[in-house]
Amino acid sequence: ELEDYTERFLRGGLKVSAASYVRAEQTRTAIWLAFDEFLSRYDLLLTPTLATAAFPIGEPPTSIDGVEARGNAWTPFTMMCNLTGQPAATVPCGWTSEGLPVGLHVISRAFREKLIFQAARAFEQAHPWADRWPADAEPWN
C-alpha cells in the first residue's frame, strides 16, 4: 500500500505528455550540468540531510523556521541529488533537543562514490552513534 502522497505523485505522472517529458528531461540535464560545474570546485559538499527535524510519517511540517513549507520544502538538499543523480550518502551526526536524529548529507560529483563512502566512514568513526536511539524508538535486528 502506498502513502497518499506517493499515489498522487504517481498518478500525476500519467497525465504528462511526451513533449512535456522531453522538455523536463532537457531541463533536468541543464540543472545537472550546472550542479556538476558547481561541485567541480569542491571535493565534497556537506549539508544537513533535511531542512527540519524528523517528523511522523505522512505529517511533514507546514513551516520551517517560520516560513511556510510547501510540498517537499523539507528536502532541499536530497531533492537536488535525486533530481540530478549526484551520488550522496547520509550519516547520523547528532540529535535535536527532543532526542530526534539529525543527518549529515555528503555529496560529490558523479563517479566519486568512493570518496563519499570514505568521508562517511571517517565521520562515523570519529562520531560513533550506533548505540544511540531516539527516546521512543527501539533497536531492531
Angle at 104 between CA 100 and CA 110, to 5 degrees: 145
- What average pLDDT does the structure give for the chain? 89
CA distance 81 to 66: 25
What the block records as the C-alpha cell of 123 is: 565521520
The whole-number average pLDDT for the span 82-98 is 91
Find how far residue 118's CA is from the centre of its chain: 19
In a domain, 135, yes or no: no
pTM of the model: 0.81
First to last CA, the chain: 24
Confirm whether 52 is domain-assigned: yes
Q: Is residue 132 part of a domain?
A: no
Taking only the tens place, the pLDDT of each residue in 16-30 is 999 999 999 999 999
Q: How many domains does the chain have?
A: 1
Q: 138 in a domain, yes or no?
A: no
Q: Is residue 99 part of a domain?
A: yes
Mean pLDDT, to the nearest integer, of 114-141?
A: 83
Q: Which run of H or E residues covers position 77? A: helix 76-84
- The answer to whether the CB of 119 falls within 8 A of the CB of 113 is no
d(CA 14, CA 11) in angstroms, rounded, equals 5
Instruction: Provide mean pLDDT across the span 114-122.
Output: 97
Which residue segment(s) compose the domain that 106 sits in?
Answer: 4-126
